[in-house]
């Protein structure tokens, strides 16, 4: 018999506490245990385990009792510098068989204050923990299909296919809201960041995301309508301008190939995406997950 929700949540807390203590010996690791960090296979205790010196306050945990899997995002302090981590744990038989970690150490200006903004939030929005009502309930297959529809919308985005979103849906990228965020729009220009995700995708702006691959969905919490995905977003660097659906042509600043490695949470209700939270890490173009 597998662990229940409470036990999986406790295991997530135990993992983070062991990480902060730099003591993997606290964990119930299975003999088959394997670990990666930013796509690289590492021995337990190496990498982030040697540099984290304390935990932040922000923590977001999602569990899947059927798959015995955990997805989490958190702020940790790496040699006193706050960074955002995304972690997948597979925990069959009461022990941890796999730990896949993404660490965002990207100094891109847009995201530079992300950890501090998450710390100021303190905790995820309450909507994430709300159980799905009878009217909002979606099956495991329906949740997976809706996540797939999002990725279909993003890949070579042309504005013609847009996944269904709730009107109030917001996307949180590395601790920074990238939708409903008018403070990032330039004065005198049409709004973009102030828009919701449906309107942004409807413009066809993200055509420079040339491929969305390894669309893994390792954690699906049916009771709360939450999906954890771990895709890679490839940017070939060949799209230098985009003609938007409103008739404008805008330049694209992507001049070389690169990939975003992601851990992405979706909150779903009644066939629509209600909230999104993403940890993105910039990696070499075409890099595989290692899993």
How far from chain centre, in Å, is Cα 125? 15
Together in a domain, 109 and 141: no
Distance (Å, whole) CA 91 – CA 77? 25
Together in a domain, 118 and 136: no
Element counts in the chain: helices (H) and strands (E): 4, 16
- Closest CA relative to residue 20, chosen from 57, 60, 54, 56: 54
Distance (Å, whole) CA 136 – CA 122? 27
**Residue 196 burial class via C-beta count within 10 angstroms: exposed 0-12, middle 13-18, buried 19 and up:** middle
Together in a domain, 234 and 117: no
Domain boundary among 123, 147, 175: 123
pLDDT for res 1: 67
pLDDT for res 13: 98
Task: Note whether 261 and 281 are within 8 A (CB).
Answer: yes
In this structure, is residue 25 part of a structural domain?
yes
pLDDT for res 112: 84
Together in a domain, 106 and 154: no
CATH number of the domain encompassing residue 237: 3.10.450.50
Distance (Å, whole) CA 282 – CA 276? 19
Domains in the chain: how many in total?
2
In this structure, is residue 223 part of a structural domain?
yes
pLDDT for res 109: 67
pLDDT for res 69: 98
Q: Say which residues have a Cβ less than 8 Å from residue 247's Cβ, sequence separation at least 6.
A: none
Buried b (16+ CB within 10 A) or exposed e, 137-172: ebeeeebbebbbbbbebbbebbbeebbebbeebbbb
Together in a domain, 56 and 137: no
Together in a domain, 76 and 197: no
In this structure, is residue 48 part of a structural domain?
yes
Q: Say which residues have a Cβ less than 8 Å from residue 98's Cβ, sequence separation at least 6.
A: 33, 34, 35, 88, 89, 90, 291
Domain residue limits at 180: 131-283
pLDDT for res 194: 97
The token pair at 167 is 């009107």
Domain boundary among 123, 149, 177: 123
pLDDT for res 217: 98
In this structure, is residue 288 part of a structural domain?
no
In this structure, is residue 30 part of a structural domain?
yes
Together in a domain, 88 and 168: no
Together in a domain, 151 and 239: yes
Distance (Å, whole) CA 153 – CA 246? 17
Element (H, E) at 101: strand 96-104
In this structure, is residue 291 part of a structural domain?
no
Domain boundary among 123, 145, 160: 123
In this structure, is residue 64 part of a structural domain?
yes
pLDDT for res 149: 98
Together in a domain, 153 and 218: yes
Together in a domain, 180 and 252: yes
- Can you list the residues of the chain whose pLDDT is less than 50? none
Together in a domain, 258 and 219: yes
How far from chain centre, in Å, is Cα 141? 20
pLDDT for res 110: 77
In this structure, is residue 250 part of a structural domain?
yes
Together in a domain, 146 and 220: yes
């Amino acid at each position: 018999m597998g662990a229940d929700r409470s036990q999986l949540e406790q295991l997530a807390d135990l993992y983070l506490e062991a990480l902060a203590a730099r003591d993997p010996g606290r964990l119930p690791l299975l003999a088959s245990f394997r670990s990666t960090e930013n796509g690289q296979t590492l021995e337990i205790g190496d990498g982030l385990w040697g540099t984290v010196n304390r935990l932040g306050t922000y923590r977001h945990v999602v569990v899947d009792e059927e798959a015995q899997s955990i997805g989490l995002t958190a702020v940790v302090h790496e040699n006193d510098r706050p960074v955002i981590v995304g972690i997948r744990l597979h925990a069959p038989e009461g022990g941890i068989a796999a730990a896949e970690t993404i660490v965002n150490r990207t100094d891109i200006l847009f995201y530079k204050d992300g950890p501090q903004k998450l710390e100021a939030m303190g905790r995820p929005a309450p909507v994430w923990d709300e159980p799905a009502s009878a009217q909002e309930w979606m099956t495991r297959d329906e949740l997976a299909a809706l996540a797939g529809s999002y990725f279909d919308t993003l890949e070579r985005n042309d504005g013609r296919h847009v996944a269904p979103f709730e009107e109030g849906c917001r996307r949180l990228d590395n601790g920074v809201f990238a939708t409903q965020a008018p403070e990032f729009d330039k004065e005198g220009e049409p709004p973009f960041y102030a828009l919701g995700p449906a309107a942004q995708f409807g413009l066809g702006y993200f055509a420079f995301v040339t491929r969305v691959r390894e669309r893994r969905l390792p954690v699906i919490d049916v009771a709360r309508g939450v999906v954890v995905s771990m895709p890679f977003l490839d940017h070939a660097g060949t799209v230098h301008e985009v003609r938007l659906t409103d008739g404008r042509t805008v330049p694209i600043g992507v001049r070389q190939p690169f990939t975003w490695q992601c851990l992405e949470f979706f909150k779903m209700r009644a066939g629509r995406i209600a909230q999104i939270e993403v940890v993105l890490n910039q990696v070499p173009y075409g890099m595989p997950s290692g899993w």
